[in-house]
Amino acid sequence: MNTLRLAVADGVTITKRNALKIRRAPDLLGGVVMLPIVFVLLFTYVFGSMISLPGMSYGEYLLPGIFVMTIVTSAQITGYTLTQDLQRGIFDRFRTLPMSPSAVLTGQTVSDVIMNFTSIATMAIVGLLVGWRIHSSPFEAALGFLMLLLFAYAFSWVTATVALALRTPEVFNNIATILSFPLVFLSNAFVDSTRLPGPLKPIAEWNPVSTLVQAARELFGNTSPALPVPGAWPLRHAVPVSLLWSVLLLVVFVPLATRLYKRAVSQ
Amino acid sequence: MPDAIVAEGLVKKYGDVAALDGMELTVPEGTVFGLLGPNGAGKTTTVRILTTLLKPDAGRATVAGFDVVRDAHRLRAHIGASGQYAAVDDHLTGAENLEMVGRLYHLGTRSSRQRARELLERFDLADAADRPVRGYSGGMRRRLDLAGALVANPPVLFLDEPTTGLDPRARIGLWDVIAELVAGGTTVLLTTQYLEEADRLADRIAVVDHGRVIALGTADELKDQVGGDRIHLSVTSTANLESAARTLAPLAVGDMQIDAAALQVTIPVAGGAATLTEALGHLAAERITVRDAGLRRPTLDDVFLSLTGHQADENTKETVR
């Protein structure tokens, strides 16, 4: 019990450290607050003015997609900070301290949740200002935000794993950009996946990002009966499948990241 | 006096390269032990094993009575480590950095804060305490890193090349800080590639090359291994250089070193100052004009050269740290 208490205390200390870092570093703060604002405004006004959907505004359809895109892209901050810390020897200092070894990664991922909460709250407020509306019950809406945060937390562990495998900030940034673009754009985040051509359609419909976007749309009530109903199984059960994805990612990537962390720091 | 650090037969291999090849160390409590050697000699690997960052492939070591592998977690409450890559957080202030370390030593929030202020004061960082470390100079960062190693008042301290990369003034400042620490009774293991640093700070020095100790003793003992005093002579012309060397040859107890370009000759002698007087008498009798003459002890440079066959500052290949 005492070990667990110390592990939690150490996790809190590391979380505070990372949160302070984000607040102090202009580049990180830009990624957390400025970029999401720019995304919302740009997509709503540029694409929203061109594209029309049957039965609803494109702006409303779009915002859940932007939430998810921001989660995926800002997870890069996790990986970037981890690789930087690896290079700067700060983990060596941590490892000579009598702290809980798990605190480094839990602290990192929990501070990412705080970061994601800030981003999503910013986007929701800006979204509401430019015409996005929640059409569901408060309970469903709350569930929607919680589901986004849970997925963000799980996805942090994925990026942490990639970062700990690659180890240098530059390499990580390149690879993460290459991976995150198709993940976001080969999905229903910005377009109706039922209208995608040939082989792109099944890829987009089974993409976990699509599932999460669909689930968010349903929970925020940003759907229209006039839109075609997607046929793929994960999209028809978007909310439970999204939760399942989050759990699955955690089950696979928490142990994997932990093992890679041990390997990365013991050389 | 019990031993604070004992290492027996430590071996660490990276592929085919042995970073450590039978490293042996014994450091009595309250003393400063210098590990001296070129890059890649195994100094950092030794420190990483003793501070629980690395597991040895063979051999065993205890620090403050704890086995570095079996009791690693408990040992960490009793050591402090400061490395050549100042492990401080750029975006945090000096005070925040130290408070974080204090909390990770589980000192509690209030004591961590108080301890941080004390250390900042002591390391002359009080004025910069609430500024982000990003704006600190190299010397300030090192001092902060060293302060981080002292947060929990550990009885055993590891300093891995604490002054590498610092300008001479910052280096001397840090030396004063370390000397003060040692006066307080802390056991220190210090690695360095600067002979002057080992000479100035360490009670005992182990010269390390290729992952093992090749010589051990106080600075004076090591210097004695190379021989006694040397007469160092500068003359005014090449002709004088030759006759000076010829005249003083009977006094030499080893090989003379003649530097024709600098018009200098170094003669190993026995008998100290009396021999110098005698030598100057012979030179005056031969009417050889001397520009400068002196007696000097061998430096650790001489020790290193004679032990390893290469200069201490020679940059051998950098092995994995």
The whole-number average pLDDT for the span B226-241 is: 85
Does residue B210 register a pLDDT over 80?
Answer: yes
**Which of A20, A99, A267 has its CB closest to that of B91?**
A20
pLDDT for position B164: 82
**Which of A25, A88, A266 has its CB closest to that of B85?**
A88
- Chain A interface, best mutation among B74, B75, B82, B89, by max A CB count within 10 A: B89
- For chain A, the domain total comes to 1
CB proximity list for A228: less than 8 A, separation 6 or greater: A192, A194, A195
pLDDT for position A54: 82
pLDDT for position B1: 59
Residue B86: pLDDT band with limits 50, 70, 90: low
pLDDT tens column, B241-295: 888 888 888 888 877 888 888 888 988 888 778 888 988 999 888 888 889 988 8
Of B209, B135, B121, B101, the closest CA to residue A92 belongs to B101
Contacts of B89 in chain A (CB under 8 A): 17, 21, 90
The whole-number average pLDDT for the span B66-70 is: 95
The whole-number average pLDDT for the span B208-221 is: 90
Q: How far apart are CA A79 and CA A175, in angstroms?
A: 11
The whole-number average pLDDT for the span B96-110 is: 94
Chain B residues near any Cβ of chain A (below 8 Å): 51-55, 73-74, 76-77, 79-81, 83, 85-89, 91-92, 96, 100-101, 103-106, 132, 145, 148, 320
Chain B residue at shortest CA distance from A263? B54
CB contact under 8 Å between A92 and B76, yes or no, is no
* Phi, psi values for residue A172, rounded to 5°: -60, -45
Does residue A113 register a pLDDT over 60?
Answer: yes
Q: How far apart are CA B280 and CA B276, in angstroms?
A: 6
Q: Lowest mean pLDDT: which of A128-132, A261-265, B68-72, B131-135?
A: A261-265
Residue ranges of A 13-42 with Cβ closer than 8 A to chain B: 13, 16-17, 20-21, 24-25
| pLDDT, greater one: B230 or A154 | A154
Contacts of A9 in chain B (CB under 8 A): 103, 106
Q: Lowest mean pLDDT: which of A61-70, A192-201, B202-211?
A: A192-201
Does residue A158 register a pLDDT over 80?
Answer: yes
pLDDT for position A95: 87
CB proximity list for B36: less than 8 A, separation 6 or greater: B43, B191, B192, B193, B195, B198, B205, B206, B207, B208, B300, B304, B312
pLDDT tens column, B140-149: 998 899 999 9
| pLDDT, greater one: B314 or B232 | B232
Summary mean pLDDT of chain B: 87
pLDDT tens column, A1-41: 578 888 899 999 999 998 898 888 877 778 888 888 998 99
Percent of chain B residues topping a pLDDT of 70:
93
CB contact under 8 Å between B105 and A98, yes or no, is yes
Q: Give per-residue burial for A25-51: e unless 16+ CB within 10 Å, then b.
A: beebbebbbebbeebbeebbeeebeee
pLDDT for position B310: 57
pLDDT for position B72: 92
pLDDT for position B26: 95
CB contact under 8 Å between A97 and B103, yes or no, is no
CB contact under 8 Å between B79 and A93, yes or no, is no
CB proximity list for B149: less than 8 A, separation 6 or greater: B80, B81, B82, B157, B158, B159
Number of helices and strands (H, E) in chain B?
Answer: 11, 14
A5 touches chain B (CB under 8 A): no
Q: Tokens 């293991």 map to which residue?
A: B189
Contacts of A10 in chain B (CB under 8 A): 103-104
**Which of B53, B73, B100 has its CB closest to that of A92?**
B53
- Tokens representing A196 are 């995608």
Q: How many CB atoms lie within 10 A of CB B201?
A: 25
Tally C-beta pairs within 8 A across A and B: 74
Does residue A212 register a pLDDT over 60?
Answer: yes
Percent of chain B residues topping a pLDDT of 90:
43
pLDDT tens column, A67-104: 999 999 888 888 888 998 888 878 888 888 988 888 99
Min Cα–Cα distance to chain A from B295, Å: 45
Min Cα–Cα distance to chain A from B207, Å: 24
Min Cα–Cα distance to chain B from A250, Å: 26
Does residue B176 register a pLDDT over 90?
Answer: no
pLDDT tens column, B288-316: 888 998 888 777 677 777 777 655 444 44
pLDDT for position B314: 42
**Which of B55, B80, B87 has its CB closest to that of A92?**
B87
Q: How far apart are CA B173 and CA A106, in angstroms?
A: 39
The whole-number average pLDDT for the span B4-8 is: 95
Does residue A266 register a pLDDT over 70?
Answer: yes
pLDDT for position A51: 83
CB of B98 closer than 8 Å to CB of B148: yes
Of A80, A69, A74, the closest CA to residue A172 belongs to A80
Does residue A66 register a pLDDT over 90?
Answer: yes
Residue A143: pLDDT band with limits 50, 70, 90: very high
Residue B318: pLDDT band with limits 50, 70, 90: very low
| pLDDT, greater one: A239 or A101 | A239
A98 touches chain B (CB under 8 A): yes
CB proximity list for B238: less than 8 A, separation 6 or greater: B260, B263
Full set of structural domains in chain B with CATH = 3-223 (3.40.50.300), 228-297 (3.30.70.100)
pLDDT for position B313: 46
Percent of chain A residues topping a pLDDT of 70:
99
Residue ranges making up the domain that contains A81: 2-265
Summary mean pLDDT of chain A: 90
**Which of B103, B145, B320 has its CB closest to that of A267?**
B320
Does residue B16 register a pLDDT over 50?
Answer: yes
Going B170 to B171 to B173 to B177, the CA torsion angle's sign is positive
CB contact under 8 Å between A21 and B89, yes or no, is yes
